[in-house]
Structures are given as C-alpha cells and as structure tokens.
Amino acid sequence: MKNPLQLEGKTILVTGASSGIGRATAILLSELGARVALVARNEDKLRETLSSMQGGPHWVEPSDLGELERIPAWFSALHGKTGPLDGFVHCAGIFSLMPLRLVTTQHLEAMMRVNFYAAVSLCKEFSRRGTHRPGSSVVFVASVAGLLGVTARAAYSASKGALIAFARSAAIELAKQQIRVNCVAPAFVQTEMYDETAKAFTPERLQALIDSTQPLGLGAPLDVAHAISFLLADTGRWITGSVLAVDGGYSAQ
C-alpha cells in the first residue's frame, strides 16, 4: 500500500526556507521525496538549509518577497527551472511586538507587504495556467494571532487574519482548478522569531506565559512542518479552506 504522506515526484515551493518553520518544512519535504524550491532573502542561509536536505534536485532561489512588483517575472523564471509545481508553502513573514498607540501606517504596510500581499501575489502566479499540476496544494503559515486577540500584536494579527480570510475565499475560487488552499495556525514555536520575542520578557515571565497559554508547552518547527506536509500530501486530498491550529492547545482555552 502506498504511504499517502509520501511526496515522490512532487515539486514544491517553500518561502521563508532559510530558518524556522520554513527550514524545517523544506527539509521534511525532501525526506518525503519532494523536490523543493527554497526561497528567502539570504542565500547563505538557504544553502545551509539545502545542506541538510535529501534527494533532489532542489533549487536555491534568493528573493526579497517584499518587492511585490518583481514577483510575476521572478515566478515565471522559477517555473522555467522547476516546471509545473505541485505545492506552494508560504512560511515567509515578519513579526514585531507593538502596542496599538505606537502603530503607524508605515509599520502596517511593512507587515502586510510580506505576510499578506506577497502571499496573495504568489498564489495568483501559482494558479496561472501551466504553472501547477492538478491536485496541487497551497499552505499558508498563519498564526493563532489571526484567530484570537493578542495584546501588542494588532498589526501582526491583522496580517494573519487577512491571510486566513484570503485562503478561505481562494479555496472556493481555485477548487475548479483542482487547487486546495489551507492555513496552519501556530502559537509559540521555538524559532528565531520566538527568540526575538523572548527578549521582551524575563525568562521566568516567558515560561509562565507558555505554561498558562499552551497546555502542551512550546512547539518545535517540525511540529508545524508535519502539519504542512499532511496538507500537501494525499492525506489532505479532501481538505480545503481550512485552518489547522498547531498550537499546543492555545486556541482550545
């Protein structure tokens, strides 16, 4: 019997593949047999990810996704190298703690540009005729902050909430093209982004926060990568427009 989680013969684009959830996802997908196009701004870090991957061929494609006007031409060039894609995972994102009284239009624009606008632009290119295979899957890394209110994260929460709303509508629109669109919504995960957040707390206060909000404790990038691979593979064949909370119980309270 075929393992429905296997991804042999599949080609998948992963943004944010230089660190954290994106890196863990790229490595796991390669272990499951996929060919992976790795995208982030830092080429050296992408090559560090590549050095931990299995199989291939894989492609290192450095790009600043905040430069939205360049995405169509960049995506077209990528497609010329990889051929039609079977999946697209948007892990790239930025984060900052900022009380509402300090939020500016510039801050909002920067947050939305990478977390939301780039995701929409890439999904648009992915859905064009000839760029994807039937039965393909799009997975956006959102956040529980896009589902629940969180202090000092209004802009970040808004960007992730927009991503979730977009995914649901895109799932309906793209179903006729046999493209599934879903989100995963992590809570606190041990990544570089988490380490930056931790600087705002004492170790004791941070541990108390984790203990009080996540019954299963702090997550690891691989925990989220497993959920992403589930949605990309045949195991997610009948799932679209969904948000899978991968949050250690955060949203259950």
In-domain check, residue 199: no
Query: Of all residues in the chain, what percent carry a pLDDT higher than 90?
Result: 75
Kindly name the residue from 117, 156, 194, 250 that is annotated as catalytic.
156
Residue 53 belongs to some domain of the structure: yes
| Main-chain phi, psi angles of 243, to 5 degrees | -120, 115
Tens-binned pLDDT, residue by residue, of the chain (253 aa) = 678 899 999 999 999 999 999 999 999 999 999 999 999 999 999 999 999 999 999 999 999 999 999 999 999 999 999 999 999 999 998 877 777 788 788 888 988 999 999 999 999 999 999 999 999 999 999 999 899 887 767 888 999 999 999 999 999 999 999 999 999 999 999 888 777 777 777 888 888 888 989 999 999 999 999 999 999 999 999 999 999 999 999 999 8
Instruction: Please name the residues in contact with 189: beta carbons below 8 A apart, sequence gap of 6 or more.
Output: 20, 21, 218, 219, 220, 221, 223, 224
Within a domain: 197: no
pTM, entire model: 0.94
User: Is residue 2 in a domain?
Assistant: no
d(CA 231, CA 71): 25
How far apart CA 220 and CA 209 sit, in angstroms, is 17
Report yes or no: 214 and 190 within 8 Å, Cβ to Cβ: no
CA-closest candidate to residue 126, choices 27, 14, 25: 14
What's the whole-number average pLDDT of the chain? 93
156: annotated active-site residue: yes
The pair of three-digit structure tokens given for residue 125, joined into one six-digit string: 């290119």
pLDDT at residue 248, rounded to an integer: 96
Q: What is the CATH number of the domain that holds 182?
A: 3.40.50.720
From CA 18, how far away is CA 11, in angstroms rounded? 18
Instruction: Report yes or no on 247 lying in a domain.
Output: no
Domain total in the chain: 1
> Would you state the structure tokens that stand for residue 216, as one six-digit string?
């299963």
The string of DSSP letters for 96-107 reads --B-GGG--HHH
Q: Measure the CA–CA gap between 96 and 102, rounded to whole angstroms.
A: 12
Q: Residue 152 has what pLDDT?
A: 66
Could you tell me if residue 76 is left (phi over 0), alpha (psi between -120 and 50 degrees) or otherwise beta?
alpha
Cβ-contact 133, 84 below 8 angstroms = yes
What is the span of the domain harbouring residue 131? 11-189+221-240
CB 145 within 8 Å of CB 156: yes
Residue 246: inside a domain, yes or no?
no
- Look at residue 123 in the predicted model and tell me its pLDDT: 98
**Residue-wise pLDDT tens digits, 13-40:** 999 999 999 999 999 999 999 999 999 9
User: Is residue 3 in some structural domain?
Assistant: no
The C-alpha atoms of residue 149 and residue 14 are separated, in whole angstroms, by 28
Residue 56 lies in a domain: yes
Query: 59: which residues sit within 8 A by CB, 6+ positions away?
Result: 35, 36, 37, 38, 78, 81, 82
Q: Are strands 59-62 and 85-90 parallel, antiparallel or unpaired?
A: unpaired
* pLDDT tens digit sequence for 192-214: 877 777 777 788 888 888 898 99
Total Cβ atoms within 10 A of residue 241: 17
Q: Look at the chain and count its residues.
A: 253
Interacting residues of 76 by C-beta distance below 8 A, sequence separation 6+? 125
